[in-house]
Amino acid sequence: MLNQLLADTRLDAEAARRPPAPVAAELRRPPHRGPLTALPAPSSPRSGLHDVLPERTAVRDYAATPLSGADLSALFAAADRMDARGWPAERAAGVDLELYCAAWRVTGVDTGLYRYRPEQSELCRVANLPDGPEAEELVMQEEFAKAAALVVITGNLAAALARHGSHGHRLLLARAGAAGHAAWLAALRLDLAGTVFAGLLPSVLRARAGADGYHRAALFAFAAGHPIPNLGPPS
């Protein structure tokens, strides 16, 4: 069903888009520059998709157990792969999705905001983030600040509008939704838990990642962590 929805969206985009042309350089934003953290190779799935999909549910409470760097790498790889396979022409034209990580408990990754660099499978540090109770001020619902990490997706709305007109915004949202859900499904297969949601507050992304809402617009996010162990009914 997901593949059919993606196919319908792409057909709609083909019908509505303007003649394809690369995005003008002035509409693009330069990549962030900061210390780099190499990610391990992505973890291999620990469960089959057909086993975990029926149990998928939004989880907003997380254990204190850190994510491994390899598990985080798998979430990002899944999100990027979904976009690369679904919308190669958009990427070739320069309308990229940007994948960020708000990391609080990830093995080998210091607390902070990072941009994922898929070509090198590494994280570029963008900004510091508070930890503990102060982190709750970064999100609308405080429980998301207790996740081990957030995958935050942004896109270049200016470039999408220049290429497709008003349809560009809808197309960006569809791409971000597909990438976010791909990260969620990858998490389930790693026996992790989480939920999709709106992401960091716009003011936070503006101040820390230069997200002006136009050339770099927040689109979607996925909160990930280990589930709290089921202790069973009280004795």
Q: What is the pLDDT of residues 59-78, one digit of tens each?
A: 989 999 999 999 999 999 99
Higher pLDDT, 112 or 53: 112
Q: Residue 25: inside a domain, yes or no?
A: no
pLDDT in tens, 109-167: 999 999 999 999 999 999 999 998 899 999 988 999 999 999 999 999 999 998 888 88
Asked whether residue 209 is domain-assigned, the answer is yes
Confidence of residue 1 (pLDDT cuts 50, 70, 90): low
* Residue-range definition of the domain harbouring residue 137: 2-17+37-225
Per-residue confidence (pLDDT) for residue 78, from 0 to 100: 97
- Name the DSSP letter for residue 101: E
Is the CB of residue 217 less than 8 Å from the CB of residue 156?
Answer: yes
Residue 67 resides in a domain: yes
Q: Is the pLDDT of residue 102 over 50?
A: yes
pLDDT at 19 over 60: no
Tell me the average pLDDT of the chain.
88
Asked whether the whole model's pTM tops 0.75, one would answer yes
> Based on the number of CB atoms within 10 Å of its own CB, is 45 exposed (0-12), middle (13-18) or buried (19 or more)?
middle
Q: What is the CATH number of the domain that holds 171?
A: 3.40.109.10
Q: What is the pLDDT of residue 113?
A: 97
Q: Is residue 125 part of a domain?
A: yes
Does some domain include residue 233? no
Q: What total of structural domains would you count in the chain?
A: 1
pLDDT at 160 (0 to 100): 92
Report yes or no on 12 lying in a domain: yes
Residues 6+ apart with CB under 8 A from 88: none
CA distances from 181 to 31, 53, 79 (A): 25, 12, 8
Is residue 26 a part of any domain in this protein? no
* Dihedral angle, C-alpha 117, 122, 125, 128, nearest 10 °: 120
Task: Please report whether residue 24 resides in a domain.
Answer: no
